[in-house]
Amino acid sequence: MIIAIDGPAASGKGTLARRVADAMDYAYLDTGLLYRATGAKVLAENGDPADEAVAVSAAENLSAADLEDEALRSEEVGTAASKVAAIPRVRAVLLDFQRTLARTPPGGKRGAVLDGRDIGTVVCPDAPIKFYLTASVEERANRRFKQLQEKNPAAIYERVLKELEERDARDSARDVAPLKMADDAIHIDTDRLNANAVFDAVMAHIHTHMGADD
Report the CATH number at residue 148.
3.40.50.300
**What amino acid occupies position 146?**
K
Number of domains in the chain: 1
Q: What is the pTM of this model?
A: 0.84
Phi, psi values for residue 48, rounded to 5°: -100, 120
> In this predicted model, what pLDDT tens digit does every residue of 36-74 receive, in sequence order?
999 999 999 999 999 999 999 999 998 878 888 888 988
Burial of 121 from C-beta contacts in 10 A (0-12 / 13-18 / 19+): buried
- Kindly state the percentage of the chain with pLDDT values over 70: 99
Tell me what percent of the chain is helix, strand and coil, each rounded to the nearest 5.
60, 10, 30
pLDDT at 151 over 90: no
Owning domain of residue 136: 2-213
Angle between helices 157-173 and 137-151 (to 10 degrees): 130
Strands 129-134 and 186-189: parallel
